[in-house]
Amino acid sequence: MAKRFARALGACCFFPLIPAVQAADLPDYQRNSAWFTDGDSRVEARAAESRSAQTAKNVILFVGDGMGISTLTAARILEGQLRGENGEENALSFEEFPHSALIKTYNTNQQTPDSAGTMTAMMTGVKTRAGVLNIDGVALRADCADSKGKELNTFLELMESRGKSTGIVSTARITHATPAATYARSPERDWEYSAGGDCKDIAAQLVESEFGDGIDVILGGGRRNFITSDAGGKREDGRDLTAEWQQRYDGEQLAQYLESGSDLAALDLAATDKLLGLFTSSHMSYDADRVAKGADEPSIAEMTSAAIDVLQKNGDGYFLMVESGRIDHGHHAGNAYNALHDAIAFSDAVAAALDKVNLDETLILVTADHSHVMTIAGYPTRGNPILGKMIANDAAGAAQAEVGAALDGLPYTTLSYANGLGYADLGDETDADARYDLAADAGRKDLSAVDTQAPGFHQEALVPLGSESHAGEDISLHAIGAGAQLVQGTLEQSAVFHLMVGATGLSVTAE
């Protein structure tokens, strides 16, 4: 990692169904929002102190969905332990970045947020309600009529409409809340393949994007939202959006549509202008499940690398958003194993990007949208398996031979959840979603004979819920490259937009 980090430091035509190309300028009510003006003034003050810094031509925003501080700590330890080390001294790739900040994640109507509201804040500079994508927070959720005239434009759309290339990568459905917040406006995050009123569904908005010539690279899951029910999809309107996407660029640009990892590996990226890859019907596999079962899906690092290869052909620059969406899903299932392994794969994707870009002209940001209620507790000895049972030190500082027990006489794990489905022992099963085939099993369990490091172990939870919840504490932001010096202190999540604008010098009004 040290060597790779040192190298990194050194280192025309439109869809005929769309009548006109729109300029992604920000409406007055967006720029006059208190969230927007506060973030703008704070970043401007910091930029004034660093006028000699280089301007970023390219921006890569990495979002680990649900990757809170406890997830970073545990993933860091697990990655080291997988190499045979104690683990505590390890660092994930982006934890070595020179600049960092804390980010406040609340939505306008919720103390503990959801991904739609948090990603909207990062992409538009305006905080909004939970469940709402790029609609101002004064609008009501799931009310199409009320959303009219309150739409917010995004950083991706600003870049695209100014001649830059753009891309989105996600291990979740590409129409899921976090990736959707880069390009869609919807008062309801669940309108992925159909919408209420006369609003347009999220998948259709992606294919019909009116900014620039559309998003250049789209890689992730969620094929079902683009194809008809007759073809195994969800759409009831008879539209095959994958065919429409290909028709949009037919004869004008070299566009490729893919459905497998082997297709991506074989693709000539140098001869590709537009790339759409929908590798699974719904979300992509957890990384551990992908490997264990030999799924024909690319890793998040492979998708990131391919996206950069296509986007960097534009000499005017690009914006790429990369989301590890399944960290969040592993936590919701109460399965730390998959959440942490996906966080490690996410770190590998950041490292892959570092190997490809010139940091003199590229800003890389790594953050989360919110945290989760996974805790690291007890007093385990240093080097104790992070997925294991708690083994403490004795009075002399030596590790005890027996697993430590709680006051109820039962052993417990270092990792646990404050709420959720609770204990499950599925052995070697690597798909955390299999947990939802079982009823919630709340309460303390005797783990004496249970392998808590197995992929199918799901940690105990204090409060029984049908799904483990998000948490409301601050998350971290890590930065390297051109403009990274602006990342410091404790910031509102909406300031991430202004950090990207400040680093690139991008105008938010028509020029």
Q: How is residue 296 annotated by DSSP?
A: S
Which domains are assigned to the chain?
2-374+476-504 (3.40.720.10)
Question: Which of 363, 360, 370 has its CA nearest to residue 155?
Answer: 363
Q: What CA–CA distance (Å, rounded) separates 439 from 226?
A: 32
Q: What are phi and psi of 298, to 5 degrees?
A: -75, 155
Binding residues for Mg(2+): 65, 176, 178, 323
Q: How is residue 235 annotated by DSSP?
A: B
Give me the pLDDT at residue 14, please.
35
Give me the pLDDT at residue 157, please.
97
Binding residues for Zn(2+): 65, 328, 332, 369-370, 470
User: DSSP of 330-399, one letter per residue?
Assistant: HHHTT-HHHHHHHHHHHHHHHHHHHTT--TTTEEEEEEES-EE-EEE-S-BPTT--TTSB--BB-TTSPB
Q: What are phi and psi of 257, to 5 degrees?
A: -110, 130
Residue 82's SS3 state is helix
As annotated, the active-site residues are: 115
**pLDDT values of the chain reduced to their tens digit, one per residue, 511 residues:** 444 444 443 343 333 343 344 567 888 989 999 889 888 887 777 666 554 467 999 999 999 999 999 999 999 999 999 999 999 999 999 999 999 999 999 999 999 999 999 999 999 999 999 999 999 999 999 999 999 999 999 999 999 999 999 999 999 999 999 999 999 999 999 999 999 999 999 999 999 999 999 999 999 999 999 999 999 999 999 999 999 999 999 988 899 999 999 999 999 999 999 999 999 999 999 999 999 999 999 999 999 999 999 999 999 999 999 999 999 999 999 999 999 999 999 999 999 999 999 999 999 999 999 999 999 999 999 999 999 999 876 655 555 546 778 999 999 999 999 999 999 999 999 999 999 988 888 789 999 999 999 999 999 999 999 999 999 999 999 999 999 999 999 999 999 999 999 999 998 886 5
CA angle 155, 98, 491 (to 5 degrees): 50
Ramachandran region, residue 239 (left: φ > 0; alpha: ψ -120 to 50; beta: rest): beta
Distances (CA, A) of 50 to 46, 128, 261, 487: 7, 30, 43, 12
Cα dihedral sign, 495-217-185-111: negative
Give me the pLDDT at residue 251, please.
84
